[in-house]
Amino acid sequence: MTDRGATTRAALIEATRQVVQAVGYTHATTRVIAQAAGVAEGTIYRHFADKSALFFAAVLDRNATITERVSRLPARAGHDTVEVNLTDCLVELSGLREDMLPLELALLTDPDLARQQRQAVAARPEGGLVGPPMYVAAYLAAEQSLGRVRADVDPAQVAVVVLATLFGLALVPSGDGNGVDRDLLASAVRLLTNGIAPTRQHAGRKKPASS
């Protein structure tokens, strides 16, 4: 990407933040975002596949420190326990809740955004995961290769369940009012990891060959 392209992309992300803060995700149109960034509306699609991709980029860019820490999760495979590693990861990601929850709700309630999101996911390889979901899936796959996750589970599907758990619990206020309740989060992760942990029945079963 050229310096000019990087500058334009940054301007679009900043304009998206400003517009979303003013009117919310559902009412943040690409026309208004482009005007705020000082570019033509078509310029958005030179940098982002669709409006939902622009929104996610704005959220992840704002939370780059959290995303960078989560990107190191796959390297923790084989260290501590799967439960501890996933719990720590979700505690980190809970810092995204104030930005991600409104976006997730907009994707559920705005037909245009929901359609764009489905199309974007269908066009991506390996389950359509990017960002934190991709890192969680890569971590689970690494643990699977070490025999610490059942060979017959799909890491991408489990990653989606893990993150859905986080955002579901984010709707439950913590006792001290400071974000997600870690004990409740740890209990939910424990239930999940118990379900994907190897058992005698699965220990000797080879991972199915990919088609």
Q: Which ranges of the chain have pLDDT less than 50?
A: 201-207, 209-211
* Of residues 61, 55, 53, the one with CA closest to residue 6: 61
Helix axes 51-62, 3-23, angle to 10 degrees: 90
Which three-class secondary structure string do you get for 20-77?
A: HHHHCCCCCCHHHHHHHHCCCHHHHHHHCCCHHHHHHHHHHHHCHHHHHHHCCHHHHC
**What whole-number distance in Å separates Cα of residue 49 and Cα of residue 51?**
7
Alpha carbon 112 to chain centroid, angstroms? 20
pLDDT of residue 121: 61
pLDDT of residue 211: 43
Q: Which amino acid is at 156?
A: A
**What burial class does residue 71 get, using C-beta atoms within 10 Å of its C-beta: 0-12 exposed, 13-18 middle, 19+ buried?**
middle
pLDDT of residue 194: 92
What number of CA atoms fall less than 13 Å from residue 24's CA on the CB side? Answer: 11
Other CB atoms within 10 A of residue 133 CB: 19
